[in-house]
Amino acid sequence: QVQLAESGGGSVQSGGSMRLSCRASGYTYSTFCMGWFRQVPGQVREGVATLDGQGSAKYADSVKGRFTISHDNAKKTLYLQMDNLKPEDTAVYYCAADLGNTYCSGLSRDNFGWWGQGAQVTVSS
């Protein structure tokens, strides 16, 4: 059974840093496209970053230069390092997997069929 479990959320002041982790199980990790998404209540869940099975990353324009997606194959864990956080980064962050593709086709949530439970990130000004 595929499971994705996020950890590392919390509260931080503007300009601070935080790292989210996503522990994966139930499938061959590192072979498929993985991603981070975020959602604010009342708004559409938006793509933040993706990492494909070959290690290529893509980022939303709003986080380029501030966020870094990476993984540790041995630990079967996906990370999202978030630096220079802004209040507008406040959201619930979700880890997701597209187990049908090695390469990521974009930041659309429609491509991802497996999701974690979410982790709240709150950035205060």
| pLDDT tens-place string over residues 43-71 | 999 999 999 999 999 999 999 999 999 99
- Alpha-carbon span 27 to 62, nearest angstrom: 31
Q: What is the pLDDT confidence band of residue 29, given thresholds at 50, 70 and 90?
A: confident
For position 26, what pLDDT does the model report?
A: 86
Strand runs labelled E in 26-105: 33-39, 46-51, 57-59, 67-72, 77-82, 91-98
**Mean predicted confidence (pLDDT) in 22-31:** 85
For position 117, what pLDDT does the model report?
A: 96
Contact yes or no for 65/82 (Cβ under 8 A): no
For position 93, what pLDDT does the model report?
A: 98
Which residue type sits at 112?
F
User: Which residues, in sequence order, are bridge partners of residue 79?
Assistant: 21, 70
Tokens 């930041």 -> residue: 107
